[in-house]
């Protein structure tokens, strides 16, 4: 029997809108990302407005207060959902339905438990602002909540002084090289020059990687302002990631980014470039590093590109097998953009131009019916979308 959404949705929706004033950026982002609650009526209100390609359908899947980034277990039967609070949620799913929902709050992990990811053996990693914790798998799709193992303690992921509430939503992935990759946003809109040596050494504003036991920390990529989404191309094993670019430069610049890291050691241009080929005012008169890698795909400015995945299934038609990414929606723009799921076609490992796949949460007047954060693929080939404004997951399937 199918579990109805009304059986799991209880509380009522609260929405937070942000001023466009740049001075309020830090506090605004913190408000938007706080856990929200929804009831069935409010969450369902958006669904008739969501536009999808022909043959696709969207439904409410589960209520997860403050739902952010997701991880699907190797066997496809468990979905872990991170939040910006102290809670992590475990869903047991089959045939595209939630069979069990469980919340746990691993106190030793701290708060802002945004980024879960799985290793091939079922070990769960959770990346918080300055700590990485591992949970070993248990039979029946469960995890060992009682015995977490901290593999990167405070001061090991980043220096304590560089931890704050701005750009500290970590995400992680285990790569085909059996290394744990973690994004590290930096604390400024544009960092001052005196911070660059420290940031370069630590990979702040970059991506770092570890062995799965937390040893052998290495800076994999630099020159990244604030990536909150990464995945590996299943055909060649290379890393792709989103990046959020500089605020306060105008409505249409700089562009958002989807980047391709073909190898370790590359620099993606920030802070010399604010996004794409647009130079920042602060570093306009300084020379960028040699060999800057520019984005593979340019997205509309200030849409807040977050979670990203390569679609690996076969249930979507072939024209819709490629990259899916979530745009959280803009605050630093006179006409809001984003709050949608984008699709980027891939052919011979080359990316085409992105196009909207699921949109309608953006009302165009500064208000949102929802704020997509992340995308994940279920074992049946359907797509999950998290929404931290309504505190829900949506499921998009091809009928």
- Check pLDDT > 90 for residue 16: no
Place 315 in a pLDDT band, splitting at 50, 70 and 90. very high
What is the C-alpha separation between 39 and 271, in angstroms, rounded?
A: 42
pLDDT for res 346: 95
**Helix ranges (DSSP H) in the chain:** 25-32, 40-45, 196-202
- Check pLDDT > 50 for residue 138: yes
Element (H, E) at 100: strand 97-104
Which positions ≥6 away from 95 have C-beta within 8 Å?
380
Tell which wins on pLDDT, 253 or 30. 253
What is the C-alpha separation between 281 and 18, in angstroms, rounded?
A: 25
Residue 134 corresponds to which tokens in the numbers above? 């591992």
Q: Tens digit of pLDDT for each residue in 54-70?
A: 999 999 999 999 999 99
5-398 CATH choice from 2.120.10.30, 3.20.20.140, 1.10.530.10, 3.65.10.10? 2.120.10.30
- Check pLDDT > 60 for residue 3: no
| CB-count exposure of residue 355 (10 Å: 0-12, 13-18, 19+) | exposed
What is the C-alpha separation between 50 and 48, in angstroms, rounded?
A: 6
- Check pLDDT > 90 for residue 386: yes
Q: Tens digit of pLDDT for each residue in 149-186?
A: 999 988 899 999 998 778 999 999 999 999 999 999 99
**In the chain, domain spans:** 5-398
Residue 385 corresponds to which tokens in the numbers above? 């979308």
Element (H, E) at 392: strand 392-398
Residues of the chain above pLDDT 70, percent: 89
Look over the chain and give the mean of its residue pLDDT values, rounded to a whole number.
Answer: 89
Do residues 57 and 397 touch, judged by C-beta distance below 8 A?
yes
Q: Among 216-225, 263-272, 358-367, whose mean pLDDT is lowest?
A: 358-367
Q: What's the average model confidence in pLDDT over 210-217? A: 97
Place 29 in a pLDDT band, splitting at 50, 70 and 90. very low
Provide Rg for the chain, Cα atoms.
19
Do residues 376 and 79 touch, judged by C-beta distance below 8 A?
yes
Exposed e or buried b per residue across 233-249, where buried means at least 16 C-beta atoms within 10 angstroms of its C-beta: beeeeebbbbbbbbbeb
pLDDT for res 109: 72
Q: What's the average model confidence in pLDDT over 337-362? A: 95
Eight-state DSSP code of residue 180: E
Eight-state DSSP code of residue 333: S
């Amino acid at each position: 029997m199918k579990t109805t959404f009304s059986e799991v949705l209880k509380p009522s929706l609260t929405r937070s809108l942000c001023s466009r004033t740049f001075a309020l950026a830090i506090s605004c982002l913190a408000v938007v990302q706080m856990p929200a609650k929804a009831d069935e009526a409010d969450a369902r209100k958006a669904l008739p407005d969501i536009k999808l390609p022909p043959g696709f359908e969207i439904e409410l899947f589960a209520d997860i207060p403050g739902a952010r980034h997701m991880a699907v277990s190797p066997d496809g039967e468990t979905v872990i959902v991170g939040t910006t609070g102290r809670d992590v949620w475990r869903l047991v799913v089959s045939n595209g339905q939630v069979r069990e929902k469980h919340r746990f709050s691993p106190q030793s992990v701290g708060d802002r438990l945004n980024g879960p990811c799985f290793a091939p053996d079922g070990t769960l990693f959770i990346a918080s602002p300055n700590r990485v914790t591992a949970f070993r798998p248990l039979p029946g799709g469960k995890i060992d909540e009682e015995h977490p193992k901290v593999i990167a303690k405070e001061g090991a992921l980043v220096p304590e002084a560089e931890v704050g509430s701005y750009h500290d939503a970590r995400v992680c992935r285990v790569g085909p090289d059996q290394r744990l990759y973690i994004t590290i946003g930096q604390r400024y809109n544009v960092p001052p020059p005196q911070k660059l040596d420290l940031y370069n050494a630590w990979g702040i504003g970059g991506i770092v990687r570890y062995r799965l036991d937390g040893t052998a920390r290495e800076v994999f990529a630099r020159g990244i302002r604030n990536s909150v989404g990464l995945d590996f191309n299943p055909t060649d094993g290379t890393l792709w990631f989103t990046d959020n670019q500089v605020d306060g430069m105008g409505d249409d610049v700089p562009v958002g980014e989807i980047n391709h890291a073909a190898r370790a050691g590359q620099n993606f241009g920030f802070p010399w470039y604010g996004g794409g080929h647009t130079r920042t005012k602060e570093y306009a008169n300084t020379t960028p590093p040699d060999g800057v890698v520019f984005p593979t795909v340019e997205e509309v400015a200030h849409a807040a590109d977050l979670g990203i995945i390569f679609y690996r299934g076969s249930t979507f038609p072939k024209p819709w097998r490629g990259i899916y990414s979530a745009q959280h929606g803009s605050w630093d723009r006179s006409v809001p953009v984003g709050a949608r799921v984008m699709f980027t076609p891939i052919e011979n490992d080359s990316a085409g131009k992105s196009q909207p796949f699921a949109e309608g949460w953006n009302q165009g007047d500064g208000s949102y019916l929802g704020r997509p954060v992340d995308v994940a693929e279920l074992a049946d080939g359907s797509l999950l979308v998290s929404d931290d404004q309504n505190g829900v997951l949506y499921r998009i399937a091809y009928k």
